[in-house]
Structure 1
Amino acid sequence: MKVIPLLEGVYEVSLKKDFHYVSPDLIDGKPTEGYYLIVRPFLVQIGDENILIDAGYGGEEECEPILIKKLRENGLNSTAISKVLISHLHKDHINGIGTWIGEEFVCNFPNAQIYIQQKEYDYAIAQTNNSYNYERLEKLKNFKNIVWMNENEGDISENIHFEMTGGHVPFQQVFWIKNNDETVFYGADNLPQLNYLKYHAAFKNDVDGHKAMEDRLRWEEQAKNEYWKILFYHGKRTDIKQF
């Protein structure tokens, strides 16, 4: 099993949740308003399977999605992605699932099965805040390759297990990918950075910060006992931690 971080970039996020791409050199600075945010999907390869974990914000360079460019730098076309695992539908995790071509929103991964929790979708489209891109969420309903998930926990394949944990948002999902004696874990925004393990705290930007904190404590213990490899989507300097 091979894990490849696909750094989309660093964004300046305003208090109104507007995203602006900035130079990675600015990550140690402090914006005048809001904060800087790393966006880093992951590619996991098992045999012929190319599994993408979350889809990024959808930033572009020279009219091409940065995520597709990153895949190409690693020897893959976007058509080679076989599965896309979506943790939740905040725009920095889902926008990159597609691209506007004229007035049409086209899937960036046409040969993949895209796994999205139905409860998360229903929740997301009922909200009225700038954490979501409602125009793109509406377009998702036209994609023929989405697998709408309704279970709270289960197996996507013999290698992929999911659990709907809540915490950051009520219906967020997390994923375990296993192959032989290796376990890769993705805790999404309940565990977005390594330093979240250092501070046993409930964070205000979570819908249920105490639930997210309890999850982190449980996962850390399991990771140490079972030698997990943990992936950090928003990690400032650490993208993968091997326990």
Structure 2
Amino acid sequence: MEKLELADITLTWLNGGVSRLDGGAMFGVVPKPLWSRKYEVNENNQIELRADPILIQTGGKNYLVESGLGNGKLTDKQKRNFGVTEESSVTESLKTLGLLPEDIDYVLMTHMHYDHANGLTVEKGGQFISVFPNATIVTSKIEWDEMRNPNIRSKATYWRQNWEPIQEQVETFEEEWNQGPLRMVHTGGHSNGHSILIIEAEEETVVHMADLMGTHAHQNVLWVMAYDDYPMDSIAAKQKWMQYAKEKNAWFTFYHDAVYRAIKLDEQGEICSSIKREKHTLSTK
């Protein structure tokens, strides 16, 4: 498992599953001849996407960013439509680190779409229960409200089995949530309640743009997903926070990227430092 160590903070990427989604949907109105130079695509126009939670350990606490694709919650039809080839093994990843799901203190949810929230619950004995029973689950109030009352578009990705069993564990915030070196900031864009995560550790800064910058190939502020509910808000948030990251010489971290776990960009927007995924084996099949 890949790690990023910053002063007294350690980030470790866990295995949350794999999907292959339509490249056109992931890059919106950007023409394929442009985006396909930046991110590998197969003959079915699919790109590989991870759903790998980040374990953050600092101050004696265990924080998990997102929860993975989960297990046993997708039908065969959904697996086919979403191109899912591997479900989550977060529990096994934690065990490798000497941890149990019960050891997670906080789960930080940038948003609650199925590919981020499926791993919050699991079916046991005919009912869904919390995977992280001792954790406080943090998300924006806007996101939490829509999760429970989705509209005609968002009901396809906000699922009752992902929120009902964990509702007593949820803590919401309006604009920002802060704890120690961690800060969640509501941005909107990808979803109305979407947030990003900022980590500040002495001289180092990490900006986790979540689905505003789903992969390293999305660094152009105009390259937003067709999945974004409010694309102009996504663009505005990318302009603001990518400039902030540039001023801080920050690391960008990823949940979905199949190639990089984290990157730094130089003045020209080129990758100057990176942590690659060790088992990067993009397939064209």
Q: TM-score surpassing 0.5?
A: yes
Correspondence for 1:115 among 127, 138, 142: 138
Alignment of 1:98 with 2:124, yes or no, is no
Cα separation, 1, equivalents of 2:163 and 2:135 = 18
Shift of 1:183: 2.0
Q: Secondary structure at the residue paired with 1:239?
A: strand
Is 1:126 equivalent to 2:150 in the alignment? yes
**1:48-197 alignment, distance < 5 Å:** 48-59=60-71, 66-124=89-147, 125-128=149-152, 129-141=155-167, 144-147=168-171, 149-155=172-178, 157-197=179-219
Query: Which SS does the other structure have where 1:240 is aligned?
Result: strand
> Which letter does structure 2 place at the counterpart of 1:138?
E
Alpha-carbon RMSD: 2.7
- TM (norm. structure 1) is 0.82
Partners of 2:239 and 2:129 in 1: CA distance = 39
- C-alpha separation between the residues in 1 aligned to 2:69 and 2:109? 13
Cα distance change, pair 92–166 in 1 and its aligned pair in 2 (3 A): same
Match in the other structure for 2:230 = 208
- Give the Cα–Cα distance (whole angstroms) in 1 for the partners of residues 173 and 136 of structure 2: 15
Report the residue type matching 2:242 in the other structure.
Answer: E
Conservation of the 8 A alpha-carbon contact between 1:12 and 1:31:
no
Give 1:159 shift: 1.9
8 Å CA contact 2:221–2:235 kept in 1: the answer is no
Query: 1:150 & 1:82 partners in 2: Cα distance?
Result: 17
Evaluate the alpha carbon distance shift between residue 13 and residue 31 of structure 1 in structure 2; reply closer, same or farther with a 3 A threshold.
farther
Structural mapping, 1:20-31, within 5 Å = 30=42
C-alpha separation between the residues in 2 aligned to 1:69 and 1:163? 30
For residues 204 and 135 of structure 2, the distance between their equivalents in structure 1, rounded to whole angstroms, comes to: 24
Using the alignment, how far apart are the partners of 2:106 and 2:196 within structure 1?
15
Q: Given the two structures, how large is their TM-score scaled by the length of structure 2?
A: 0.71
Match of 1:10 in 2: 18
Is 1:46 the equivalent of 2:95? no
Q: Deviations over 1:87-140 (max 9, x none)?
A: 111001011012111123221112221112222122233234422323333333
Aligned partners of 2:45, 2:159: CA distance in 1, in Å?
21
1:236 lines up with 2:267 in the alignment: no
Q: Which amino acid aligns with 1:228?
A: A
Whole-angstrom distance in 1 between the partners of 2:115 and 2:262? 19
Once the two structures are overlaid, the 10-residue window that deviates more, 104-113 or 121-130, is: 121-130
Cα separation, 1, equivalents of 2:223 and 2:115: 23
Distance 2:43 2:49 in 1: 11
Counterpart of 1:131, as a letter, is T
Q: d(CA) in 1 for partners of 2:169 and 2:221? A: 39
Q: By how many angstroms is 1:152 displaced?
A: 1.6
Distance 2:186 2:18 in 1: 28
Q: How many residues align structurally?
A: 226
- 8 Å contact 1:186–1:232 — kept in the other structure? yes
Long gaps (5+) in structure 1 = 15-26
Cα deviation per residue 1:202-231 (whole Å; 9 max; x = unaligned)?
432211212212222322222222122211
How far residue 29 of structure 1 moved from its aligned partner, in angstroms, is 5.8
**After superposition, where does 1:26-37 map in structure 2 within 5 Å?**
30=42, 32=44, 36-37=48-49
* C-alpha distance in structure 1 between counterparts of 2:96 and 2:220, whole Å: 33
Gaps of 5+ in 2: 1-8, 23-38, 73-86, 266-285
